[in-house]
Structure 1
Amino acid sequence: MHILILTQNYVPEPDPKMHILGKGLVKLGHKITIITGFPNYPYGKIYPGYRQRFWQREEIDGVGVIRLPLFPDRSRSVIKRSLNYLSFPLSASILGPFLCRQIDIMLVYHPPITLGIPAWIISYLHNIPFILEIQDMWPETLPATGMVSNQYILNRLKKLAMFTYSKASAITVISPGFKKNLESKGVPAKKIHIFYNWAYEGDFSTADPDIDFAKKIGLHKHFNILYAGNMGPAQGLHNVIESASLLTDIKDLQFVLIGSGIDYSNLEKEVKERKLKNVHFLPRLPIEVMPSIYAIVDVVMVHLTDDPIFEITIPGKTQSCLLSGHPIIVSVNGDAADLVVKAEAGIAVPAMNPSALASAVRKLHSMSPEERKKMGLAGRDFYFRNLSPEVQIKKYEQLFKEVINGKDISNRR
């Protein structure tokens, strides 16, 4: 099969799922072409070594990549963020159909839902089916993250989402809650497939602790609770700082917050103002460094704010935490907590409840290393049996074949 993947972000940006999928499908004998933007996430600036032009072709690990221009942004400005989410779909709609040839099927990686426009255009002009992969439920997630609150815009995006669902031959979602959400909107259940995410880092072996590295980044001789990822309104990390203030009596304890985002500076400022010594910040690190980080921490954490949309969301870092070999504190309501509890890999606490989070920390701190290791190993075992790329990529391949063999072009006209 020649499979086209339409995604606004792609490696070297820090969302490698489509690259891991592409590499895996190449190994299975398929040809993969990616249509994506010039790399700019999460900094809002084009990466060094790239320069915007009408298009650029490259090959990464056997995967063909076509990069198209966009408006780079990572700010709180609704106008600038809208331009980011509209510019790449516009480029893909105009240039995409002419830059790919002899495609059998297309996978569309959403968000943003504005990719539904080039998805339909390319599908129509090339007479091919497309599968929509939903990582975030739009428009519901937009007000929850503080990105958009204008009801007119939300209603327009809802109509675009419904249009895209109707034109897709199949839809993959990352959680049972997403499936229920789509069914409540009238999307046929047989069209929806639950494909859990795998770890951002791909499969990795647990590394031996590097003491010198731990000393260098301030993690040596601490009981480290790690949060790694985006730091924005959706993550609600002020709750972690509040919890830290309840744990100052545990002298070796520290929360380690690694990442970037629009709340990073405010979080740092709050910690300094409250004179907390048990919250340690590090900037976003390359994904390939994360296994070394996991080797020198004791507990990993998944954290989102309290919003109904997040009850049906499983953040991608959940899988990384399962693979880390450490017990997990999951401060999220709903599907993510259910997954961790099912794996017997950690403790679930109500979202945005600092006292409950502090109690979970105390419980894990009081456990023996053997007890914590048992939890961590249970998480890794669950991951390899159910969530790893080796398991999931074969499911994608099978779905592609089923859609091609049973494709119905009429619903896309």
Structure 2
Amino acid sequence: MAIRVLLMTQWFDPEPTFKGLVFARELVSQGFDVEVVTGFPNYPGGKIYPGYKMRMLQKEMIDGVNVTRVPLYPSHDKSKFGRILNYCSFSISLILYSLFCKRPDVIYSYHPPLTVGVGAAIIGLCRRVPVVNDVQDMWPDTLRSTGMISNKSVLSVVGSVCAWVYKRSTKIVVLSPGFKTLLIERDVPSEKIEIIYNWCAEDYVSQSQDLNKPVFKVNNKFRVLFAGNMGRAQALDVVLHAARIVSTKVPTIEFVFLGGGLEVDNLKRLAQELELNNVEFFPPVPMGMVGSYLSSADALLVHLKKDELFRITIPSKTQAYMAAGRPLLMAVDGDAADLVKLSGSGLVAESGNANSIAEAVIQLFNTPTDERHAMGQNGVSYYEKNLSMERGVEKFGSLFKSLVKH
């Protein structure tokens, strides 16, 4: 019989997510019996998506994947109380459903938020099922770094809950070597931790490139694109200051911001205050259109605020940028910068340093076209060999099978 995997994630398609439908669908194609337990789609706006209505339970089939949606409090605004209620309500619903659904052979838990890991640990304990906890954000570090929580006592409690979740996990999957090192420093046994790099939504990237439809005005602009969430962690005010420096030196360079997030309005105000005429904002677009924007840009920018946590983080957009075949401008220190250097897929700038970012942008602009093209192809090649969904899901599949055998 097929191994039954209960995939627990608060966010799932049609919400933007990195381990969503493409992951579940690939597991099904590898012969696993997959059920996804998730919430009603409301991220990132905090409003239930059109076509969905909150109810006690909703089951649907998406591309051969069984999806079960459980109720939650929809919220994703600046209210800390609303965010906490959002996380906790989903965790409670997740536990109540999973206690009585068909017993899985393996539980996969996507973190963040931590509350999903708590629910998975409880179900794993009650139903005697191995739990694989996929840690994408290191809590409480991320909460402190993004400013969501600053109270030391609360952060200490979150840290204690994390330690309990890690202890209850059969295996912990992390996205970078730095994450593994940090967990080992926190007394998690090395043999419990597996490094599996993230991949991107490859079908969306390749599909939208095939459409070959222009998404920008046809002119002589050299476009540097940032695509994705614009929150505190991204610290994009630094990039706007870099844009101001660039505007006086190379007026034909344009910075494009694609997406949504809590800081979008603040960034737009700052751009007006700085009187920037080389910056353009685009609203979020469906996943199927993102690749068209990536492939139409001349360079793709990654930036996170300067923080020790982000030195061990590889932002998920990195993989999509590589797969899109455009040169990267990596303004994240540590593991992410090392990845770009190793792959030869672009240039590196210092995070949080507007002058460094501006210099790297201008250097990339002055790089011959064939060399920029080679950077893009280096990224594609490295992605396919080391970071692709096929490679990643193969590793997850092997991990699930090894746990069931035991």
TM-score (norm 1): 0.94
* CA contact 1:6–1:119 (8 Å) conserved in 2: yes
Equivalent residue, structure 2, for 1:378: 378
The 1:392–1:91 alpha-carbon spacing in structure 2 relative to 1, beyond 3 Å, is same
Equivalent residue, structure 1, for 2:345: 345
Within 2, Cα distance between the matches of 1:283 and 1:233? Answer: 18
- How far off its partner does 1:117 sit? 2.5
Matches within 5 A, 1:165-184: 165-184=166-185
The 1:33–1:275 alpha-carbon spacing in structure 2 relative to 1, beyond 3 Å, is same
* CA contact 2:205–2:290 (8 Å) conserved in 1: no
Q: Give 3-state SS (helix, strand or coil) of 2:28's partner.
A: helix
Within 2, Cα distance between the matches of 1:163 and 1:202? Answer: 37
AA aligned to 1:289 is M
AA aligned to 1:29 is G
- How far off its partner does 1:164 sit? 0.7
Unpaired stretches in structure 2, ≥5 consecutive residues: none
The 1:34–1:152 alpha-carbon spacing in structure 2 relative to 1, beyond 3 Å, is same
The 1:209–1:96 alpha-carbon spacing in structure 2 relative to 1, beyond 3 Å, is closer
Equivalent residue, structure 1, for 2:135: 134
Within 2, Cα distance between the matches of 1:259 and 1:213? Answer: 14
Q: Give 3-state SS (helix, strand or coil) of 1:256's partner.
A: strand
Tell me the alpha carbon deviations over residues 88-140 of structure 1, each in whole angstroms, 9 at most, x when there is no partner: 00111222211x20311010000111123221222123221110000000011
Equivalent residue, structure 2, for 1:241: 240
Matches within 5 A, 1:55-74: 55-74=57-76
- How far off its partner does 1:203 sit? 7.0
Unpaired stretches in structure 1, ≥5 consecutive residues: 407-413
Within 2, Cα distance between the matches of 1:94 and 1:207? Answer: 42
Equivalent residue, structure 1, for 2:55: 53
* CA contact 2:25–2:65 (8 Å) conserved in 1: yes
Matches within 5 A, 1:219-238: 220-238=219-237
- How far off its partner does 1:55 sit? 1.0
Within 1, Cα distance between the matches of 2:221 and 2:240? Answer: 17
Equivalent residue, structure 2, for 1:390: 390
Tell me the alpha carbon deviations over residues 323-342 of structure 1, each in whole angstroms, 9 at most, x when there is no partner: 11111111011111111111
The 1:390–1:355 alpha-carbon spacing in structure 2 relative to 1, beyond 3 Å, is same
Equivalent residue, structure 2, for 1:144: 145
* CA contact 1:25–1:397 (8 Å) conserved in 2: yes
Equivalent residue, structure 2, for 1:290: 290
Tell me the alpha carbon deviations over residues 205-240 of structure 1, each in whole angstroms, 9 at most, x when there is no partner: 38369565322xxx6431000000111110010011
Within 1, Cα distance between the matches of 2:377 and 2:53? Answer: 44
- How far off its partner does 1:146 sit? 1.2
* CA contact 1:202–1:389 (8 Å) conserved in 2: no
* CA contact 2:331–2:350 (8 Å) conserved in 1: yes
Equivalent residue, structure 2, for 1:21: 23
Aligned residues: 402
Tell me the alpha carbon deviations over residues 372-395 of structure 1, each in whole angstroms, 9 at most, x when there is no partner: 000000000000000111111111
Equivalent residue, structure 2, for 1:362: 362
Matches within 5 A, 1:97-246: 97-98=99-100, 100-202=101-203, 204-205=205-206, 207=209, 210=212, 212-215=214-217, 220-246=219-245
AA aligned to 1:198 is W
* CA contact 1:209–1:295 (8 Å) conserved in 2: no
Within 1, Cα distance between the matches of 2:380 and 2:209? Answer: 14
Within 1, Cα distance between the matches of 2:320 and 2:219? Answer: 22
Q: Give 3-state SS (helix, strand or coil) of 1:64's partner.
A: strand
Equivalent residue, structure 1, for 2:10: 8
AA aligned to 1:8 is Q
Within 2, Cα distance between the matches of 1:201 and 1:48? Answer: 26
Within 2, Cα distance between the matches of 1:287 and 1:241? Answer: 25
Q: Give 3-state SS (helix, strand or coil) of 2:99's partner.
A: helix
The 1:225–1:209 alpha-carbon spacing in structure 2 relative to 1, beyond 3 Å, is farther
Equivalent residue, structure 1, for 2:94: 92
Q: Give 3-state SS (helix, strand or coil) of 2:330's partner.
A: strand
- Is 2:403 the partner of 1:403? yes
* CA contact 1:225–1:254 (8 Å) conserved in 2: yes
Equivalent residue, structure 2, for 1:411: none
TM-score (norm 2): 0.96
Q: Give 3-state SS (helix, strand or coil) of 1:233's partner.
A: coil
Equivalent residue, structure 2, for 1:254: 254
Per mean C-alpha deviation after superposition, the further-off stretch among 195-204 and 314-323 is: 195-204
